[in-house]
Amino acid sequence: MRVMLYIVVLIQFGAICVGGFRYRSLPQPLRLLEYLLVFAFIMTIIEWILASQSINTLWAAHISTIVEFVIVLIIFSFWMRHDLSRLVLFGCLIGFIIFWIISKLLFEPFSQFDGWTAAVSKIIQITFSSILFVEVIKDSDIDWTKDPRFWVAAGIIIYSAGSLFLFALFNKMLLISPDRLKFVWSLNWIFSIISNLLFARAFLCKK
C-alpha cells in the first residue's frame, strides 16, 4: 500500500509541475485548479507525516472538503454560460458553507471523518461537472478533446463519483480490520491518480 501512496504523491506532484510550467499562459480557472492541486499535495504530505507519528489526521479531511468545494465551484462559475446556472451554483456554494459550519457544531466534529459533508460535496460537484461536460460535448464549434473544460469535468466526475461511497461510509468502515480498510481506501488513491492525470492534460490544452 505504501507503494501506491508514493505513486499518488508522484502523480500529484507531476500534475502540479505541468500546471506550473504553463502557469503564465493558463486562464484564471486553470490557475485556480493549480492552486487546488498544490493545496491537496500539501495536505497529503501533512497527513502522511502526522500518520507516521500516529497522530490523528481526521481534521485534515474537514479542511480539505471545504477548500476543495469552494475552489471547484468558483472554477465552474467561470465556465457556466447561463445566468441561471451561475445563480444556482452560487446558491449551492453559500448553502454548503453554512451546512459545513453547522455540521462541525452539531453532528460531525473534527474528531471524526466528515462523511456526510464530503458526500454532499461530491454529489454537488458531480452535478455541476456533468452539466459542464454535456455543454462541452454539445458545442459543435470546438474539438472537445482540446478543451480544458472537458478534462477538468471528467477528472472531477471520476474522482467524486468513484470516492463518493468511500467518503460516505468511511466512519462505518473504521469497524473493519485495518488491513481491509487500507485495501478499500486504496480505491480512493486510484481515483486520485486518474483525476490528476486528467487535470495535467487540461493544463496542456492551448485554449
Q: What is the DSSP letter of 82?
A: S
Axis crossing angle, helix 28-52 with helix 178-203, rounded to the nearest 10: 160
Query: What percent of the chain has a predicted confidence (pLDDT) above 90?
Result: 63
Angle (nearest 5°) at CA 63 between 58 and 201: 110
Per-residue pLDDT averaged across 140-167, rounded?
89
Alpha helices, DSSP H only, in 80-147? 83-106, 115-138
Q: What is the CATH number of the domain that holds 39?
A: 1.20.1070
Cα–Cα distances (Å) from 193 to 17, 117, 136, 197, in that order, read: 15, 23, 23, 6
The more confidently predicted of residues 174 and 71 is 71
Rounded-to-integer distance, Cα 77 and Cα 72, Å = 9
- Domain boundaries, position 68: 2-203
pLDDT single digits (tens) 192-206: 999 999 999 999 997
Rounded-to-integer distance, Cα 65 and Cα 160, Å = 11
pLDDT above 80: residue 140: no
pTM of the model: 0.92
Rounded-to-integer distance, Cα 176 and Cα 21, Å = 43
Rounded-to-integer distance, Cα 13 and Cα 140, Å = 34
> pLDDT-based confidence at 138, cuts 50/70/90?
confident
The more confidently predicted of residues 110 and 183 is 110
From the CA atom positions of the chain, what is the Rg in Å? 17
**What average pLDDT does the structure give for the chain?**
90
Alpha helices, DSSP H only, in the chain? 2-21, 28-52, 58-79, 83-106, 115-138, 148-168, 170-173, 178-203
* Number of domains, the chain: 1
Axis crossing angle, helix 83-106 with helix 115-138, rounded to the nearest 10: 170
pLDDT above 70: residue 207: no
Neighbouring C-beta atoms of residue 169, cutoff 10 Å: 14
pLDDT single digits (tens) 21-44: 999 999 999 999 999 999 999 998
CB 4 within 8 A of CB 183: no
Rounded-to-integer distance, Cα 176 and Cα 202, Å = 38
